[in-house]
Structure 1
Amino acid sequence: MSEPSSPTEQVVPVVKEKFHLDILNLSQTSQIQFGIRLQDYQKYRQYCSKRLDRIRGQLRKQYGKKQFINKVTDAKLINDSRYLVIALLKAERAWSYANDLKAAFEKKGDSRIAFHMSRRFSKAASNADQLLMICKEVADQYTIVEAEAYAAWMNSSNSIVKKYYQNALDEISASKQIYVELAKSGDHAQKDLYEKRIEESEPIIRFCLYNLKSKQEPEPSEEIEELLNQLKSSDSNNTSSDQELPMQLITWKSKTIKTDEKLREKLVIYSDYLKANQSKLPQTQSDIQTLDLTKNISQIFEVYDKLVYHLINCENIIKNELSALIRTNLKNKTVKSEIEESSQKILLSFVLYHKCKYLYERNTILIRMMQGVLEGEKVDESAIKKKANKVTYNDLVRLSTHQVKVFTILNDSKDDPTAAQKDVARDNDAQLILLKSQRLFFIGICLSNSHKYSETMSLFDRVLTNLANVKKTNTRNQLILSETSKLEESINQQRSQIHANSFIQQLSTNQDLKNQMSSMSLTSGTTGPTKSLINNLDSFETSFLQEKNLVDLPPQLEPVPVKPLFFDLAFNNVSFPTLDIGKSTPKKSSSTSTPSTPNTQDKSTPSKGLFSSFWGR
Structure 2
Amino acid sequence: MPTFHVSEMAAGTESMTGENVDELGTQEVPVSQKLTFEVLQIVKEAQQQHGLRHGDFQRYRGYCSRRIRRLRKSLHFPQGNNRKVTPKKIDMETITDVRFLHLPLFCAERAWYYAMQLKSEANTEQRKKFHMLAKIKKAVTYAEELAELCKSPKCDAQTQLESQAYLSWIQAGMYFEQEVWDKAMKLYTQAKTIYEKLASAFTEDSQALYLQMVDEVSPNIRYCAYNIGDESAIAELKEMRRKGGEDQLTSHLDDLLSQTREKQTATLSEVTWLGRSVPVKSEPVRVFLINVQESTKEIESTDGIDSKISIYESLLKQCIDSQQILRDSLHDDANFKASQRGQAIEGKISNQHYLHSYLMYIRLTKTVDRNLLLIEKLKQYLPGKPIPDGHKITKPQDLVRLYDIIIQNLNEIPNLQGVETDLSEETAVKSTSYKAFRSYYIAQSFLAAKKWTETIALYERVLGYASQALKGCKKLKNLSKQEICSIEELVNRVNGEKYSCHANSILDLETVAEPVADISLIKKKPLIDRFDDYIEDKSVTTKKPNLVSFPPDFEPIPCRPLFFDLALNHVEFPSIEGKMEQKKSGGITGMVKGWLWGGGKK
Q: How high is the TM-score relative to the length of structure 2?
A: 0.33
Q: How high is the TM-score relative to the length of structure 1?
A: 0.32
